[in-house]
């Protein structure tokens, strides 16, 4: 990374504060300057190519050069580059996308609501939960239960719903009223003598104990990703959501589904809820909604939630919520085109096929490597856990920085991965071909071999 006087690197160090970046380390090392993309690859300013094994931030599902999405945006910019959806206004695109999302998600009789980011979509679900309970005569139902290791975004309530210390510690979060229950993390959470069914039972009991302890009359909603993304690619054990749902129903607690990563084929189903048997009252969609070619997100809500908003405002008030760029015509046009492409590709089937191929290759590496404890995930959302001892699952000492070291080695080899501590994550663009999956797997295998040498040096 260059630090030539007046270079982009130097000016970037001087002027930009970066997300999820250590400031002092960044000052020493400077940025990776990404200049262009093609298919599943991005290129830096020296011309070096990388397979983007994370589709950016789990989001560029159709890769980095999709002509149809670009054309859809250009055409919309020519037609009407901005308008909004406040005060009874809409455009044809916003109407069409609202209908399409209700149909695709299977939220019968439901509605779509647009936001700009995933965090805003999650916060919108919280506010709608509050309205719902208020209208049903339970205004005391305000608390939200999320789960350890969860990632739900960076705005204040969304960050409060995260179950990750690094999202809380600088800010004195979570806010009061945002609670957490254990993650369904079979690899490390299941105890000696437990099986999946008894583990699920223990998790459901823990949730119920928390609800009873806090007072069911104070709990509004439970939020979960069907499959954890940033918390370490965790697929819940069989029957988990069914049992959780029973507990939620018993205490009149809404189920909020964060599909921001899982949605639009990522797990090999159209939505993660269909993989894990979740029955949400609301769903948050972002990322794959537009392949992140435009910042657009949405909430799809059940009719009973909409009815509550209407009931609350029956004296003539207006729903007191909204974002300037909600339902932005360019975002809507890009999202409609992205969905059309997913349908043409039959995205769930394609992802299952390529996901299985990639996973099998990771399993082969894990079988021969002494430091890979588990390969897990769904579709093209795969995680690999680095351990010091495969039998005992003992992790490497934190100072070894095993995951971060892998990231550096992979990057040198032309592969962008994502370490979450010592869990390696892969969520490549869903357009990944068989050949590209093999290439990614070869680079993974090579990088793991180098990591072994480094860790044992």
Ligand X SMILES: Cc1ncc(COP(=O)(O)O)c(C=O)c1O
- Angle ∠(127,129,131) on CA atoms, nearest 5: 75
**Residue 286 within binding range of ligand X, rule CB under 6 A:** yes
| Closest listed residue to residue 270, CA positions, set 295, 248, 300 | 300
Q: In angstroms, give the least distance from the CB of 388 to ligand X.
A: 28
Q: Are strands 282-285 and 254-258 parallel, antiparallel or unpaired?
A: parallel
Stretch of 118-126, 353-361, 404-412, 444-452 contacting ligand X, by CB under 6 A: 118-126
Stretch of 25-33, 117-125, 386-394, 416-424 contacting ligand X, by CB under 6 A: 117-125
Give Cβ neighbours of residue 431 (< 8 Å, ≥ 6 apart).
39, 40, 61, 62, 63, 345
Kindly tell me which of 223 and 339 has the beta carbon lying closer to ligand X.
223
Kindly tell me which of 122 and 352 has the beta carbon lying closer to ligand X.
122
Kindly tell me which of 282 and 372 has the beta carbon lying closer to ligand X.
282
Kindly tell me which of 225 and 281 has the beta carbon lying closer to ligand X.
225
Residue 46, classified by CB atoms within 10 Å of its CB into exposed (0-12), middle (13-18) or buried (19+), is exposed
Q: Which of 57, 104, 173, 345 binds ligand X (CB under 6 A)?
A: 57
| Binding string, residues 148-187; x marks residues near ligand X by CB under 6 A | ---xxx----------------------------------
**Residue 231 within binding range of ligand X, rule CB under 6 A:** no
444 touches 362 (CB < 8 A): yes
Q: In angstroms, give the least distance from the CB of 287 to ligand X.
A: 7
Tell me the site size for ligand X, rule CB under 6 A: 15
Q: Which of 52, 123, 208, 225 binds ligand X (CB under 6 A)?
A: 225
- Write out the E strands in 53-139: 111-115
Q: How far apart are CA 393 and CA 382, in angstroms?
A: 19
Stretch of 184-192, 257-265, 354-362, 406-414 contacting ligand X, by CB under 6 A: 257-265
Stretch of 43-51, 72-80, 116-124, 186-194 contacting ligand X, by CB under 6 A: 116-124
- Write out the E strands in 160-234: 178-181, 219-224
287 touches 58 (CB < 8 A): yes
Q: In angstroms, give the least distance from the CB of 456 to ligand X.
A: 33
My answer on whether omega of the bond before 167 falls inside 30° of 0, hence cis, is no
| Closest listed residue to residue 65, CA positions, set 36, 32, 108, 45 | 36
**Residue 290 within binding range of ligand X, rule CB under 6 A:** no
**Binding residues for ligand X, per CB under 6 A?**
57, 117-119, 122, 151-153, 225, 229-230, 258, 260-261, 286
């Amino acid at each position: 990374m260059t630090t030539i006087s007046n270079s982009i690197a130097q000016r970037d160090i001087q002027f930009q504060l970066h997300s999820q970046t250590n400031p002092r380390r960044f000052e020493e090392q400077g940025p990776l300057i990404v200049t262009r993309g093609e298919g599943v690859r991005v290129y830096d300013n020296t011309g070096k190519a990388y397979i983007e094994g994370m589709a950016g931030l789990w989001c560029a599902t159709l890769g980095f050069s999709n002509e149809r999405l670009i054309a859809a945006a250009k055409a919309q910019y020519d037609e009407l580059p901005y308008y909004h959806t406040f005060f009874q206004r809409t455009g044809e695109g916003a109407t069409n996308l609202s209908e399409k999302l209700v149909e695709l998600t299977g939220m019968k009789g439901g509605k779509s609501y647009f936001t700009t980011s995933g965090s805003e979509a999650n916060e919108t679900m919280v506010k709608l939960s509050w309205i719902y309970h208020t209208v049903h005569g339970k205004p005391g139902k305000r608390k939200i239960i999320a789960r350890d290791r969860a990632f739900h975004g960076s705005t204040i309530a969304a960050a409060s719903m995260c179950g990750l210390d690094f999202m809380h510690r600088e800010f004195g979060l979570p806010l009061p009223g945002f609670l957490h229950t254990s993650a369904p993390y079979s690899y490390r959470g299941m105890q000696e003598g437990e099986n999946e069914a008894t583990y699920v039972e223990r998790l459901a009991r823990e949730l119920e104990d928390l609800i009873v302890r806090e007072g069911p009359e104070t709990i509004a909603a439970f939020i979960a990703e069907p499959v954890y993304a940033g918390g370490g690619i965790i697929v819940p054990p069989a029957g988990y959501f069914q049992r959780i749902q029973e507990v939620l129903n018993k205490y009149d607690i809404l189920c909020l589904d964060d599909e921001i990563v899982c949605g639009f084929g990522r797990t090999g189903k159209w939505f993660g809820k269909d993989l894990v048997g979740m029955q949400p009252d609301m769903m948050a969609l972002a990322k794959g909604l537009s392949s992140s070619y435009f910042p657009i997100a949405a909430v799809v809500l059940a009719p009973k939630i909409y009815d509550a908003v209407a009931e609350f405002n029956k004296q003539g008030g207006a729903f007191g919520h909204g974002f300037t760029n909600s339902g932005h015509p360019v975002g809507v046009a890009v999202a409609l085109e992205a969905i059309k492409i997913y349908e043409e590709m039959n995205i769930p089937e394609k992802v299952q096929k390529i996901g299985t191929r990639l996973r099998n290759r990771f399993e082969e590496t894990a079988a021969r490597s002494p430091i890979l404890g588990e390969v897990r995930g769904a579709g093209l959302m795969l995680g690999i856990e680095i351990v010091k001892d495969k039998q005992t699952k003992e992790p490497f000492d934190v100072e070894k920085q095993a995951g971060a070291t892998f990231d550096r080695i992979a990057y040198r080899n032309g592969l962008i991965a994502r370490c979450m501590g010592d869990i390696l994550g892969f969520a490549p663009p869903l357009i990944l071909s068989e050949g590209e999956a093999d290439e990614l797997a070869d680079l993974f295998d090579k990088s793991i071999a180098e990591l072994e040498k480094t860790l044992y040096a």
